[in-house]
Structure 1
Amino acid sequence: MEQQIKEYLLSLADKKTAAQTKKFFKTAKGEYSYGDKFLGIKMEKLRETAKRFSVVEPEVAEKLLQSEFHEIRMFSLILLTNLYKRGDKTTKDKIFDIYLKNTSYINNWDLVDVSAHHIVGTHLFEKDTTVLHKLSKSENMWERRISIVSTLYFIKNNRFGETLSISEILIEDEEDLIHKATGWMLREVGKMDIQAERKFLLKHYNKMPRTMLRYAIERLDENERQGFLKGKF
């Protein structure tokens, strides 16, 4: 099945789209996606293909996750997410373990964002969340992004403690892609409970990275946004 899926995905490759995608994902030397390889398969087609090959074992998806091609890794994460959603406890445990064992292949923001909250966040919601705090302090930028994006599942279920505590850790982060993800999650908290977001912002806004702050305050009214940006609170 693994080889059949690979061959099918390779048949969908488009050089023109691949060239455009390569530029979009910052693959020049020194940039965050340096060295990544792209086939040029659009997300819609990957999701369609995941439905076509919906009956696979998690181990097959794991092997696909270790591909050199970005879109095949993305396809694997879509598969794993779908398998997790309809799986029994044993399957869910297996997929969670596969995910954490293979974070070195979940190495771009889109790969994290399409999967972390569906698998890691969902799995840990009623369990010990120590692993999220461990990931938030990882030397691997993508593991740190996994830690905060995973909490989107918590937010959607009106639980904000993990998001806010991990955000406090990531305020000191040096990576812009972590600032964006953290600001995004704080904004999501505000959608559910604006007072919880305001309390966090009032405590931390004067030391938050500018990008993180801008993302977090996007939904506030203009006067309040300017107040935070100009340090008037």
Structure 2
Amino acid sequence: MTSKELIADIRTYCEAHADEAMVKKYSRYFKGEYNAYGLTQHLLEDKVRQLQEEKGVSLELMLEAAPELIAAPKYEEASFVFRMLDVNKKQYSREVFDRIATWYGVGIRNWAHADVLGMMILPVFLEKGIVEPEDFRPWLSAANPFQRRSVPVTFIKHIKKHHEAIEPFFTFLEPLMSDPIREVHQGIGWYLREAWKLAPEPTEAFLLKWKETAARLIFQYACEKMTKEKKELFRRSKK
């Protein structure tokens, strides 16, 4: 099977299992148009299993097809790439990481795809020692805001095992505190909320440093689990 044949096979499967009711159900989680087939996660997983076990599709072949699938307007086509990556963690390498980095330039255009990468796939590269946190530094100034968002989301899983990284990551992620994009605010706010659970005092000190200038949405996420009294500490001063 060639990459073109793989792409055609995936699209034929998606069209055969399209479900407008599922599209309508999940569209509420996305701003603007949600362009999807309406596949369930179960259907997607079944197809990936069939591709591997019955058709002998390798991770390398899926990676060859990845740019076109990720650039496609239909939501689920990229999901096949992510699922294949997730079940082939043993094959991760620096080359695979570098290929993932290029996808933001062709089609990672929503929070869900960015967060699948940040929650499930990219943290594995850190845990395996294939990459270091420093390898994500260029992502902080990437043109695609979802690539910027992926950095703090990726670091969430890392700090749960490596508490010593929490404080250094404040400095590392600081450029995102001035980011103009809402989806990036959500990502850094989510990271700060999880950091606060593990290390409240240094996280609060960092939040106090930024409370007058950073976007309020960051604080909305970061302070979500705090008491009402604690949240008051991070309100912007009245002018």
Q: By the TM > 0.5 criterion, same fold?
A: yes
Q: Secondary structure at the match of 1:200?
A: helix
Separation (CA, whole Å) in 2 of partners of 1:47 and 1:191: 33
Separation (CA, whole Å) in 1 of partners of 2:61 and 2:44: 16
1:185 aligns with 2:191: yes
Aligned length: 221
Q: Secondary structure at the match of 2:137?
A: helix
Q: Secondary structure at the match of 1:118?
A: helix
Q: C-alpha root-mean-square deviation of aligned residues, in Å? A: 2.5
| TM-score using structure 2 length | 0.80
Does the aligned pair in 2 maintain the 1:64–1:73 contact within 8 Å?
yes
Shift of 1:180: 0.8
Match of 1:110 in 2: 112
Does the aligned pair in 2 maintain the 1:217–1:225 contact within 8 Å?
yes
Q: Secondary structure at the match of 1:41?
A: coil
Match of 1:31 in 2: none
Shift of 1:172: 0.9
Distance 1:184 1:212, change over 3 A: same
Flag structure 1 segments of 5+ consecutive residues without an equivalent.
29-35
Distance 1:50 1:188, change over 3 A: farther
1:148 aligns with 2:152: yes
Query: Kindly, what percent of the aligned residue pairs are identical?
Result: 22
Separation (CA, whole Å) in 1 of partners of 2:140 and 2:125: 17
Separation (CA, whole Å) in 2 of partners of 1:191 and 1:41: 35
Match of 1:217 in 2: 223
Match of 1:92 in 2: 93
Separation (CA, whole Å) in 1 of partners of 2:210 and 2:79: 35
Match of 1:138 among 138, 142, 148: 142
The letter of the residue matching 1:83 is N
Distance 1:43 1:208, change over 3 A: farther
| TM-score using structure 1 length | 0.82
Separation (CA, whole Å) in 2 of partners of 1:152 and 1:54: 31
